[in-house]
Amino acid sequence: MAMRWAVLVGGAGTNLKALLDTGFPVALVVSHRRTAGALGIAAQYGVPAVVLTAQEVGGDRDAYDRRLLDVLESQGIEAVALAGFLRWLTPALVDRYRGRLVNLHPSLLPAFTGLHAIERAYEAGVLWTGVSVHFVDEGQDSGPLIAQVPVPRYPTDTVDDLAMRVHQVEHSLYPRVIWALDQGFIEWHPTRGVLWQEEVKTWIHGL
């Protein structure tokens, strides 16, 4: 069932690198920032990359996402993974890729949605935070959950210690979920929700 995947980025690209290190065939990288480290990783691995900044595209969110959709469709993209792409997608783009559009978030959703989730979890003094992978809907980090892995916060942790532990889980979990989606082991159904083939559950969560 292999699909053509795009990864939308905006940061250092560590999750993109983790995915590429597994040998997963990413067809396209799109960044909303020209200075994103992820662009260098795409170049290193020979993955085509496109930069779409809001300033260069002009207009509003709808105009940006129309341009983004044009790029994705021109490359035959069938599924999309967000990895540090800090733009809120419009309903039109979400609808186009619904059930094939996923996001990684560094908390146990629905806790700590939005930006700076690790720092806010640390400041709140929680004993556990974690990593969530979910299908994207029109809300903020609110789509149907696919997988979650808890991460402990130890009494001696600095925020950097906690962030490192969260990122380690991200780098293992996200490639596994993307692979399972690509192979049809996980699906989204409009009335039945997230559907799993049981044999991959233990493998995905066994980090």
- Residues identified as active-site: 105
- Pair 11, 163: CB distance under 8 Å: no
Nearest to 26 by CA among 52, 46, 44, 53: 46
Q: Judge whether 181 and 133 are in contact, CB under 8 Å.
A: no
Q: How far apart are CA 16 and CA 175, in angstroms?
A: 9
Check the annotation: does 100 bind a ligand.
Answer: no
Q: Is 13 among the annotated ligand-binding positions?
A: yes
Joined tokens for residue 196? 């799993």
Beta-carbon contacts of residue 170 (< 8 Å; ≥ 6 apart): 14, 15, 18, 104, 106, 131
Computed on alpha carbons and rounded to an integer, the radius of gyration of the chain in Å comes to: 17
Are 102 and 135 spatial neighbours (Cβ–Cβ below 8 Å)? yes
Identity (one letter) of the amino acid at 100?
Answer: R
Does 61 belong to an annotated binding site?
A: yes
Quick one: how many helices (H) and strands (E) in the chain?
Answer: 8, 9
Residues paired with 194 in a beta bridge: 188
Q: Is 35 marked as binding a ligand?
A: no
Q: Is 103 labeled as ligand-binding? A: yes
Which residues are known binding-site members?
13-15, 61, 103
Which residues are known binding-site members for (6R)-10-formyltetrahydrofolate?
61, 103
